[in-house]
Structure 1
Amino acid sequence: MIYGTPELEAPDKSVLGEIEEMRRDLKYRLAEPHRWDGQLRRQLQARAIQGSNSIEGYRASVEDIESIMLGEEPLETSRAVTSEIAGYQQALTYVRQLSPARSFRFDLGMLNALNFMMIGHHHDKSPGVVRPGGIYVRNFSTGEVVYEGPDAEDVPGLLDELVAWLNGGDAHQPSYVRAAMAHFNLVAIHPWRDGNGRMSRALQTLVLGRDQITTPEFCSIEEWLGLGENTVDYYRALRDAQQGVWSPHDEMLPWVRFCLRAHHMQAQRVRRRLAEAGEVWMLLEEQIDKEGLHTRCVSALYQVFVSRRLRRATYQAEESLSQGQAARDLRELAARDWLTPYGETKGRFYAPGPRMERVKADFAARMEPLRDPYRALL
């Protein structure tokens, strides 16, 4: 028996209604293509990859993750962490492909394949193969066992039950609730020797992606879960629900509330970024036009607005330019104090210049704090 899905109470239904309204609004806004959509989607995916991997101790900057996604060498990230990032990106790319697929059913082969994509470079951890023995989750700082997974001989049956549930169980429940329970059940079963946390978060994203409310990068909460104190809260929510050992029960409302709150907070962040993207792009377009520069330069400036740096190869690919064209544009933007160059040859990149720093500071000053949706309800 797997963990049971709880019934929502009035506060949860209110929060869920707000989440669904924000997601529908995002879907309508994204229906009309914009010049900044590609960069925004890539950055959201990079932040999701960063969040989920940082929870496991694999840390890389958003800028390096974007470089890895584009097939470039990262400037700061170690080779070992780069392998983790590349594996997770491959798995999330598959999640994105599966989300709108017309012919689709959850099955164990797909879950094993996703696990292999994530940790296939760890040949010693049997990637994509269900664990043959027991498994324990330890507190990294103390070494204390904080969770013991179910016996290995029970895992195949539990996975079969989970897959059957994914394909039709609790169909009356909202997608956000089902996604939260999919996440929890998979991480509690802990079926592989490694990658269980990342797999569970990716499965939550896939369940929501299949709902077609919006694409995976716009509905994932992985970025939110990887932010500082949020990670501590995430571990606490898992620990409280797991109670130290595999022991299925139906008292899962606190866990579902934790996930609904995370979805609400992340939806606020994404909605703000989407609104900001349009405003920033138009502002930069006006400035570039006044200075007589080519409109494609806006793409370079937008990248350093949302990020800490831009590499020539990234801009070149984004705008389908020759190496010479891209280099000339970036030199011109640096000469006008929009960009500041650092490094040489392959390590060269462009950071925000004084003028871009002023634009970033102006938008940061206008940023309002996020609203905790449960604060006035519980």
Structure 2
Amino acid sequence: MLYGTPVLDGIDDKVLAEIEEMRTDLKYRLAEPHRWDGQLRRQLQARAIQGSNSIEGYRASVEDIESIMSGEEPLDTSDSVAKEIAGCQRALTYVNVLAKAWTFRFDVGLLHGLNFMIIGHHLEKTPGTVRPGGIYIRNSATGQVVYEGPDHQAVPELLDELADWLDTGDLDAPSYVRGAMAHFNLVKIHPWRDGNGRTSRALQTLVLGRDGITTPEFCSIEEWLGEAEITFDYYRVLGEVGRGRWSPHDDTLPWVRFVLRCHHMQAQRVRRRLAEAGEVWTLLEERTDAEGLHPRTVSALYQVFVSRRLRRGMYQADEGLSQGQAARDLRELVANGWLRPYGETKGRFYAPGAKMAAIKEDFAARVQPLRDPYRALGDG
């Protein structure tokens, strides 16, 4: 028996309606291609990977994650953390492919496969296979057991039930609710020795992707979950709803509401970034044109706007340039005060120069706080 999908209240329906309204808005904005779409998608996927891994204690900068995604060596991230990042990237890339597959069904093999992609570099943890014994989640500060997973002998049957539910269960429930319940049930079954949280979050993104909720880069809440305060709330709600051991009779509405709030807040953030992207790109086009710079350099400047640094290899790949062309463009941007170089050879990168720093500061001053939908609608 799995944890059941809860009955929603009127306020939940209102929050869902607002999420759907933002989703429709994002869908129309994405329907028309823009020069900045590829960089924005990469940035969002990098932030999702960063969030999911930071929850598990594997920390890396967005810039290093983008480097890993692009096949470059990260500047600051250790080899061990880089492997965790690469594993998450593999799984989310596969999720993106499956979200668009013309024929598809959920099965247990898929769940094991996602887990193997995420932690396959830890063969000693038997990735992608059911744990051979019990599993206990401990408070890292006190060592106290806060959750005990179901007996390992019950796990295969529970996974079969989950896979069947994913294909046929509660199909009339909103996709965001089904995604939340897929996440919750898998993480509470805790079928593997490691990677359970990351696999459960990837599954949630896949459920949404299969239901046409834009693309995984835009529907994932992993970036939001990775913020320190939200990560604390994430574990708190998982603990309160799931209690100390497998107990599928408990009410799951608090968990679903937590997830809906996360979707709403992340959607606000992504919608703001999309609007900002168009405004920034247009501004950079005007400024570079006035200075007689090549139009393609806007790509490099936009990357520095959304990130803290740019590496030549990424700009070169984005614009399909030779090494010499990319190097010349970047030298010109440095000479014109747009970029500031740091480091040498493979470790060289470019940070905002005075002109770009002024633009970033101006846009940062305009940012308005996000709106908590449950508080705004009268249920704090």
Aligned to 2:111: 111
Aligned to 2:149: 149
In structure 2, give the amino acid aligned to 1:207.
V
Give the secondary-structure state (helix, strand or coil) at the position aligned to 1:330: helix
Aligned to 2:27: 27
Aligned to 1:36: 36
Aligned to 1:76: 76
Does residue 253 (structure 1) correspond to residue 253 (structure 2)? The answer is yes
Aligned to 2:220: 220
Q: Distance in 2 between matches of 1:95 and 1:166?
A: 15
Q: Distance in 2 between matches of 1:335 and 1:108?
A: 56
Aligned to 2:354: 354
Q: Distance in 2 between matches of 1:293 and 1:358?
A: 19
Q: Distance in 1 between matches of 2:294 and 2:285?
A: 10
In structure 1, give the amino acid aligned to 2:227.
L
Aligned to 1:295: 295
Q: Distance in 2 between matches of 1:128 and 1:166?
A: 19
* Greater Cα shift, 352-361 or 248-257: 248-257
Give the secondary-structure state (helix, strand or coil) at the position aligned to 1:341: strand
Q: Distance in 1 between matches of 2:105 and 2:365?
A: 47
Equivalent positions of 1:48-63 (< 5 A) are 48-63=48-63
Q: Distance in 2 between matches of 1:94 and 1:339?
A: 35
In structure 1, give the amino acid aligned to 2:203.
L
In structure 1, give the amino acid aligned to 2:123.
H
Does residue 286 (structure 1) correspond to residue 272 (structure 2)? The answer is no
Aligned to 2:198: 198
The Cα shift of 1:142 comes to: 1.0
Q: Distance in 2 between matches of 1:6 and 1:204?
A: 17
In structure 2, give the amino acid aligned to 1:137.
I
Equivalent pairs counted in the alignment come to: 378
Aligned to 1:134: 134
Give the secondary-structure state (helix, strand or coil) at the position aligned to 2:258: helix
Q: Distance in 2 between matches of 1:301 and 1:44?
A: 17
Aligned to 2:370: 370
In structure 1, give the amino acid aligned to 2:230.
N
Give the secondary-structure state (helix, strand or coil) at the position aligned to 1:48: helix
Task: Please tell me whether the aligned partners of residues 50 and 65 of structure 1 are also in contact (alpha carbons under 8 angstroms).
Answer: yes
Task: Please tell me whether the aligned partners of residues 6 and 252 of structure 2 are also in contact (alpha carbons under 8 angstroms).
Answer: yes
Q: Distance in 2 between matches of 1:121 and 1:10?
A: 46
Give the secondary-structure state (helix, strand or coil) at the position aligned to 2:337: coil
Q: Distance in 1 between matches of 2:374 and 2:59?
A: 31
Q: Distance in 2 between matches of 1:5 and 1:153?
A: 25
Q: Distance in 1 between matches of 2:283 and 2:249?
A: 54
Q: Deviations over 1:103-134 (max 9, x none)?
A: 10000111111111100000110011111111
In structure 2, give the amino acid aligned to 1:307.
S
Q: Distance in 1 between matches of 2:250 and 2:34?
A: 45
The Cα shift of 1:250 comes to: 4.8
The Cα shift of 1:47 comes to: 0.1
The Cα shift of 1:174 comes to: 0.2
In structure 2, give the amino acid aligned to 1:190.
H
Q: Distance in 1 between matches of 2:204 and 2:82?
A: 24
* Structure 1 stretches of 4+ moved >2 Å: none
Does residue 101 (structure 1) correspond to residue 101 (structure 2)? The answer is yes
Q: Deviations over 1:277-317 (max 9, x none)?
A: 00000000000100111100000000000000000010000
Q: Distance in 2 between matches of 1:228 and 1:87?
A: 22
Task: Please tell me whether the aligned partners of residues 242 and 250 of structure 2 are also in contact (alpha carbons under 8 angstroms).
Answer: no
Give the secondary-structure state (helix, strand or coil) at the position aligned to 1:350: strand
Q: Deviations over 1:223-279 (max 9, x none)?
A: 000011000000001000111100102511100000000000000000000000000
Q: Distance in 2 between matches of 1:168 and 1:27?
A: 27
| Structure 2: runs of 5 or more not aligned | none
Q: CA RMSD in A?
A: 0.6
The Cα shift of 1:213 comes to: 2.4
Give the secondary-structure state (helix, strand or coil) at the position aligned to 1:283: helix
Q: Distance in 2 between matches of 1:235 and 1:256?
A: 14
Q: Distance in 2 between matches of 1:326 and 1:110?
A: 41
Give the secondary-structure state (helix, strand or coil) at the position aligned to 2:374: coil
The Cα shift of 1:72 comes to: 0.2
Aligned to 1:341: 341
Aligned to 2:276: 276
Structure-1-length-normalised TM-score:
0.99
Does residue 3 (structure 1) correspond to residue 3 (structure 2)? The answer is yes
Task: Please tell me whether the aligned partners of residues 6 and 250 of structure 1 are also in contact (alpha carbons under 8 angstroms).
Answer: no
Q: Distance in 2 between matches of 1:8 and 1:77?
A: 43
Aligned to 2:187: 187
In structure 1, give the amino acid aligned to 2:126.
S
Q: Deviations over 1:193-228 (max 9, x none)?
A: 000000011111000001112000100000000011
Task: Please tell me whether the aligned partners of residues 115 and 195 of structure 1 are also in contact (alpha carbons under 8 angstroms).
Answer: yes
Give the secondary-structure state (helix, strand or coil) at the position aligned to 2:146: strand
Q: Distance in 1 between matches of 2:216 and 2:335?
A: 39
